[in-house]
């Protein structure tokens, strides 16, 4: 049969708050108030019409199931046979497609109905969002039969639901679940998406369930493995969330309870209507002698560094100041810098000698030490424990971390890098994650992996990676701007000539305003910290939504990290 395009507005009935819906035909009806979500979106799923065609049943089910979070999928199940209604699980997966895409319904040779639409992303049952590749397509198949009354009903279907991105953004909200770093001094976010209507319960359950597998070896979980919620839902009394936990093996120390309370407080900070946590364990209120507030993005104000004719300088408004005498770095052929997290840098790391050598340069004494040599190295990144990270560009299956206290070299196995080309690495501010740009088979991927450390900060292992930024077709540089977001110079289907992109770790990417000829970037905290370098050796800063020139003639702009 011919294709039928389902317009985006047919996915849900959207009625502006305060307006009433009018029946199109039939006897006058009592119209009950439909459930309203953020942004004035009202969901009013309709059941199957009498004598509806098989295709109309499929289309109606797609509309009702996408709106099913408003009625616990009661209406959507009316489109199914009793057997299918009893087994269909709509919450295992949310399939998301861009608003610009329209669903197409066709019939297969077997008589089943197939719905296809360009993919945007997938949300799993734990609330983890994975973006789809630009050319990915969502495909859902439905087999129907007639019931005893001769009405078409769906007998076979996939679990999960499908909806456009605008509806997804209305029904779900992004919320980071925070876990402790290995040294228990900072929090590490694990971004999730939960239904707005059940957010307060989902946040507590997210902490109980623990971090995503790729992050699990890099963070610490205080709650015992047998912890459950003592009540079906987390109640909110005024602006206080009442979280009742139950665990048989809950022998937590006072310091652990303090950290646990801080974890719940930090996680619930994403809910503006909640300002306090009433935390209970096995029915007893958790008493905290003093509250602590741990950061998730330990970054302060730092000087901007760069290279001027191969010599390290600080960059100010229309002014550059050498960090040392040019003779110190003469002949080193420095091309990139990395600097630690101190207000006034006492040392810098740099790559030079045609990309084969990592140098450690003491600023006060103007002394240079070679701390690592290789064939063709990746520009260095420095973590919060003062380790300098690099690797061979041609992936050898390992990453290198060099201590700046004693120049001890640690080689950490990462077999998933074998055979790849590594373009860039960037350690997160708290030091629990590493971001890498990896090229393999003419495809560039942004990969994140966990860094396992001893309590003293010594890196001991690299976990398996997870991919982000799948909508980008190419990426040449990245930098951290928040605890759960990077910025990237790259290309996409809609920006084939290149652009600047915001890349959240578990949310859709967004394009940003750009500067012509971007080749390199660095960033600190937030978008207004972004510094862009162009092919003309110009540096631009993001200021009040526009790019402003701050320096010329310098290269390799560098903030700590």
Q: Is the pLDDT of residue 37 over 70?
A: no
Q: What is the DSSP letter of 120?
A: -
Write down the H helix ranges in 339-456.
Answer: none
CA distance 134 to 122: 13
Question: What is the residue range of 232's domain?
Answer: 181-285
The 3-class secondary structure across 31-74, one letter per residue, is CCCCEEEHHHEEECCCCCCCCCCHHHHHHHHHHHHHCHHHCCCH
Q: Residue 28: CB partners within 8 Å, gap ≥ 6?
A: none
CA distance 450 to 438: 16
CA distance 517 to 80: 55
Q: How many CB atoms lie within 10 A of CB 53?
A: 11
Q: What are phi and psi of 123, to 5 degrees?
A: -110, 125
Domain co-membership, 223 together with 327: no
Q: What is the mean pLDDT of residues 446-462?
A: 97
The answer to whether residue 24 sits within a structural domain is no
Angle, vertex CA 478, rays to CA 328 and CA 481, nearest 5: 100
Q: What stretch of H or E contains 202?
A: helix 199-209
Return the pLDDT at 69. Answer: 86
Domain co-membership, 325 together with 457: yes
The answer to whether residue 253 sits within a structural domain is yes
Q: What stretch of H or E contains 219?
A: strand 219-220
Q: Residue 109: CB partners within 8 Å, gap ≥ 6?
A: none
Span 263-300, pLDDT tens digits:
999 999 999 999 999 999 998 999 888 889 999 999 98
Q: Is the pLDDT of residue 42 over 60?
A: no
Using only C-alpha atoms, what is the Rg of the chain? Answer: 27
Domain co-membership, 368 together with 494: yes
Return the pLDDT at 43. Answer: 64
Residue 121's nearest CA partner among 193, 211, 45, 204 is 193
Q: How many residues does the chain have?
A: 561
Domains in the chain, number: 3
Residue 412's nearest CA partner among 400, 426, 424, 420 is 400
From 167, 195, 217, the end of a domain falls on 167
Q: What stretch of H or E contains 259?
A: helix 254-268
The answer to whether residue 293 sits within a structural domain is no
Mean pLDDT, the chain, integer: 91
Write the DSSP assignment of 427-461 as a string of letters. E-TTSSEEEEEEEETTEEEEEEEEEEE-TTS-EEE
Return the pLDDT at 255. Answer: 93
Q: Is the pLDDT of residue 27 over 50?
A: no
Span 528-557, pLDDT tens digits:
999 999 999 999 999 888 999 999 999 999
Cα distances (Å, whole numbers) of residue 177 to 161, 276, 363, 502: 24, 16, 40, 20
CA dihedral 145→151→153→155, nearest 10 degrees, is -30
Q: What are phi and psi of 430, to 5 degrees?
A: -85, -10
Q: What are phi and psi of 216, to 5 degrees?
A: -60, -35
The answer to whether residue 35 sits within a structural domain is no
Q: What is the mean pLDDT of residues 425-450?
A: 96
Percent of the chain with pLDDT over 90: 85
pTM higher than 0.75 for the full model?
yes
Domain co-membership, 162 together with 273: no
Domain co-membership, 138 together with 197: no
Domain co-membership, 471 together with 546: yes
Coil, strand or helix: which one is 208?
Answer: helix
CA dihedral 285→291→296→302, nearest 10 degrees, is 180
The answer to whether residue 121 sits within a structural domain is yes
Span 241-271, pLDDT tens digits:
999 999 988 889 999 999 999 999 999 999 9
Residue 263's nearest CA partner among 311, 308, 208 is 208
The CATH number of the domain where 371 resides is what?
2.120.10.30
The answer to whether residue 185 sits within a structural domain is yes
Residue 12: pLDDT band with limits 50, 70, 90: very low
Estimate to the nearest angstrom the gap between the alpha carbon of 298 and the chain centroid: 18
CA distance 258 to 264: 10
The 3-class secondary structure across 334-353, one letter per residue, is CCEEEECCCCCCCEEEEEEC
Domain co-membership, 106 together with 189: no
From 285, 318, 349, the end of a domain falls on 285
Helices H / strands E in the chain, number of each: 7, 44
CA distance 394 to 397: 9
Q: How many CA atoms lie within 13 A of 57 on its CB side?
A: 26
Q: Is the pLDDT of residue 5 over 50?
A: no
Return the pLDDT at 26. Answer: 36
Domain co-membership, 319 together with 281: no
The answer to whether residue 195 sits within a structural domain is yes
Domain co-membership, 311 together with 188: no
Q: Is the pLDDT of residue 40 over 50?
A: no
CA distance 85 to 56: 18
Q: What is the mean pLDDT of residues 204-218?
A: 97
Span 461-510, pLDDT tens digits:
999 999 999 999 999 999 999 999 999 999 998 899 999 999 999 999 99
The answer to whether residue 25 sits within a structural domain is no
Q: Is the pLDDT of residue 7 over 50?
A: no
Domain co-membership, 416 together with 547: yes
Q: Is the pLDDT of residue 34 over 50?
A: no
Coil, strand or helix: which one is 13?
Answer: coil
From 226, 250, 285, the end of a domain falls on 285
Question: Is residue 480 within 8 Å of 429, Cβ to Cβ?
Answer: yes
List residues bridging with 37 in a β-sheet: 41
Treating both helix axes as pointing N-terminal to C-terminal, what angle do 254-268 and 199-209 enclose, rounded to 10 degrees?
140
CA distance 524 to 436: 18
Domain co-membership, 158 together with 200: no
Estimate to the nearest angstrom the gap between the alpha carbon of 23 and the chain centroid: 42
Domain co-membership, 508 together with 369: yes
The CATH number of the domain where 277 resides is what?
3.30.300
List residues bridging with 533 in a β-sheet: 520, 539
Q: What stretch of H or E contains 243?
A: strand 240-246
Sheet of 152-156: strand order equals 4-6, 103-107, 113-118, 137-146, 152-156
């Amino acid at each position: 049969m011919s294709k039928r395009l389902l317009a985006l507005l047919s996915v849900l009935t959207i009625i502006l708050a305060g307006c009433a819906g009018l029946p199109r035909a039939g006897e006058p009806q009592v119209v009950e108030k439909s459930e309203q979500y953020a942004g004035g979106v009202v969901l009013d799923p309709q059941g199957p019409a009498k004598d509806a065609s098989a295709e109309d049943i499929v289309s109606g089910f797609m509309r009702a199931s996408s709106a099913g979070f408003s009625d616990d999928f009661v209406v959507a199940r009316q489109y199914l046979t009793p057997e299918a209604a009893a087994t269909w699980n709509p919450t295992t997966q949310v399939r998301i497609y861009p608003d610009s895409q329209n669903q197409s319904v066709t019939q297969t040779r077997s008589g089943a109905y197939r719905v296809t639409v360009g993919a945007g992303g997938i949300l799993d049952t734990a609330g983890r969002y994975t973006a789809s590749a630009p050319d990915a397509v969502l495909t859902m198949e439905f087999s129907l039969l007639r019931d005893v009354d001769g009405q078409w009903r769906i007998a076979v279907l996939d679990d999960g639901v499908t909806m456009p991105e605008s509806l997804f953004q209305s029904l779900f909200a992004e919320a980071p679940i925070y876990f402790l770093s290995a040294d228990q001094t900072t929090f590490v976010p694990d971004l999730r998406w939960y239904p707005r209507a059940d957010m307060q319960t989902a946040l507590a359950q997210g902490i109980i369930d623990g971090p995503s597998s790729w992050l699990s070896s890099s963070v610490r979980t205080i709650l015992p493995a047998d912890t459950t919620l003592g009540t079906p839902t987390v109640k909110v009394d005024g602006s206080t969330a009442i979280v009742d936990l139950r665990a048989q093996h809950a022998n937590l120390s006072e310091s652990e309870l303090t950290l646990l309370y801080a974890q719940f407080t930090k996680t619930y900070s994403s809910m503006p209507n909640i300002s306090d946590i009433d935390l209970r364990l096995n029915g007893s209120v958790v008493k905290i002698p003093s509250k602590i507030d741990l950061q998730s993005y330990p970054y302060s104000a730092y000087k901007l560094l760069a290279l001027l004719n191969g010599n390290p300088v600080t960059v100010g408004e229309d002014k550059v100041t050498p960090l040392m005498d040019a003779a110190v770095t003469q002949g080193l052929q420095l091309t990139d810098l990395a600097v630690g997290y101190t207000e006034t840098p006492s040392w810098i790391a740099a790559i030079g000698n045609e990309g084969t050598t990592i140098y450690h340069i003491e600023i006060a004494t103007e002394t240079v030490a070679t701390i690592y040599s290789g064939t063709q190295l990746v520009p260095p990144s420095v973590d919060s424990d003062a380790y300098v990270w690099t690797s061979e560009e041609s992936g050898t299956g390992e990453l290198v971390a060099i201590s700046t206290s004693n120049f001890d070299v640690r080689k950490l196995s990462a077999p998933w890098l074998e055979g790849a080309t590594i373009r860039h690495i960037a350690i997160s501010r708290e030091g629990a994650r590493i971001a890498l740009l990896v090229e393999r088979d003419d495809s560039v991927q942004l990969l994140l992996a966990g860094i396992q450390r001893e309590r003293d900060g010594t890196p001991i292992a690299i976990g398996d990676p997870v991919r982000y930024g799948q909508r980008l077709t190419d990426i040449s540089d990245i930098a951290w701007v928040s605890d759960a977001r990077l910025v990237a110079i790259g290309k996409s289907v809609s920006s084939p000539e290149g652009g600047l992109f915001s890349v959240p770790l578990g949310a859709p990417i967004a394009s940003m305003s750009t500067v012509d000829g971007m080749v390199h970037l660095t960033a600190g905290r937030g978008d207004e910290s972004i510094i862009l370098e162009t092919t003309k050796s110009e540096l631009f800063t993001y200021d009040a939504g526009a790019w402003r020139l701050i320096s010329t003639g310098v290269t390799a702009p560098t903030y700590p990290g």
